[in-house]
Amino acid sequence: MRIEEDLKLDFKDVLIRPKRSTLTSRSEVDISREYSFRNSGGKYRGIPIIAANMDTVGTYEMAQSLSALRLSTALHKHYDEASLIAFFKSQPPDATVFYSLGITGADYEKFRRVKNAAGDAIAYLCVDVANGYTKSFVDFIRKVRDAYPKVTMMAGNVVTGEMTEELILLGVDIVKVGIGPGSVCTTRKVAGVGYPQLSAIIECGDAAHGLGGLICSDGGCSSPGDLAKAFGGGADFIMLGGMLAGHDECHGEIEEHGGQSKLRFYGMSSRTAMEKYSGGVANYRASEGKEVLIDYRGPVEGTVQEILGGVRSACTYVGARRLKELSKRTTFIRVARQLNEVFGA
């Protein structure tokens, strides 16, 4: 047993220090980014925020709405092949929509068939597992990269620099970073495993950027300020679940609870999801997600404007004319934890 004594930080442990700026208005800030991907050679331009591949949020409807706003979507894994083929074929060339898959043989065969039919319309892939440290995950990444050299591949999740480097050298373009921070994730409670998200971003970002790779911070953003901190810490993309839940574009029925309209939102390893897709929780495992009721919030566009407004505001506070400059101009201030957080008072 060993204890790491280094300080590790979450979003709530810091604030961004204001700096002198010549910007006079938030409207002067450009929050789009351009990337050339290290391994696929593909090019990207857009606002680097991605809807999570959860079945409530990573929907076709979400992809349509977010593409129009220049954001991206990782579709969930449970759509059937015919609809996926039709959807990808209908997309404009500048839409950034990720096909998501796990690492089973069935996942790979389904992807192969859909990709064969949809061709170059599928340019982005999201290989998604809860634990990106297994040999089977690494073997799968190698196999996909060998078979599809031109597909831009996002893969994870990991939280440490050395695994980020390994994945990039294996052919991943965007390493997905985050174990345990998700709003409906219970991994930290159930398994006691995780890593404070801001430190994971800083460490994995540093490792990826040194090799010309990129990272996507996945999970833990609950307000626009958290996105500003994630970008400030070095995230190239940010994936959002809970912040995009509760909208017209999400799957699920609107329910009335105490006079309030609500939508159900649940983790993809929750009992709800496992009962829906795997016939229940297998007897050798525990669910690592929970279900919550989220206020119904109408079309996603309003929420996106709020999020982007917050990120623009952060840029003006530190004098970053473009999102690209935000991390260079970010100094974090550590804040003392509130006693009531520590003691649960």
Residue 183 binds ligand 5GP, judged by CB under 6 A: yes
Measured in degrees and rounded to the nearest 5, phi and psi for residue 295 equal -60, 135
Residue 52 binds ligand 5GP, judged by CB under 6 A: yes
Say how far residue 165 (Cα) sits from the centre of its chain.
Answer: 19
User: According to CB under 6 A, which one of 48, 171, 213, 220 is a site residue for ligand 5GP?
Assistant: 220
Joined tokens for residue 104: 């089973």
Joined tokens for residue 310: 């917050």
Residue 218 binds ligand 5GP, judged by CB under 6 A: yes
Measured in degrees and rounded to the nearest 5, phi and psi for residue 262 equal -135, 160
Under 8 Å between Cβ of 42 and 123: yes
* Interface of this chain with ligand 5GP, residues 293 to 312, rule: CB under 6 A: none
Q: How far apart are CA 214 and CA 167, in angstroms?
A: 11
Residue 101 binds ligand 5GP, judged by CB under 6 A: no
Residue span 157-176 as binding mask against ligand 5GP, x where in contact by CB under 6 A, dash where not: --------------------
Q: How far apart are CA 19 and CA 317, in angstroms?
A: 6
Q: How far apart are CA 94 and CA 174, in angstroms?
A: 18
* Interface of this chain with ligand 5GP, residues 251 to 270, rule: CB under 6 A: 267-270
Residue 207 or residue 227: which is nearer to ligand 5GP going by CB? 227
Residue 132 binds ligand 5GP, judged by CB under 6 A: no
Could you tell me which of 80, 45, 46, 44 has the C-alpha nearest to residue 60? 80
CB of 106 to ligand 5GP, least distance (A): 20
Residue 239 or residue 326: which is nearer to ligand 5GP going by CB? 239
Q: How far is CA 184 from CA 248, 270, 272, 297, in A?
A: 20, 8, 12, 18
Residue 194 or residue 232: which is nearer to ligand 5GP going by CB? 194
User: According to CB under 6 A, which one of 48, 171, 182, 252 is a site residue for ligand 5GP?
Assistant: 182
Measured in degrees and rounded to the nearest 5, phi and psi for residue 325 equal -85, -10
User: According to CB under 6 A, which one of 29, 164, 289, 316 is a site residue for ligand 5GP?
Assistant: 289
Catalytic center residues: 185
Q: How far apart are CA 179 and CA 159, in angstroms?
A: 7
Residue 240 binds ligand 5GP, judged by CB under 6 A: yes
Residues that bind ligand 5GP (CB under 6 A): 52, 54, 130, 178, 182-185, 187, 218-221, 239-243, 267-270, 288-289
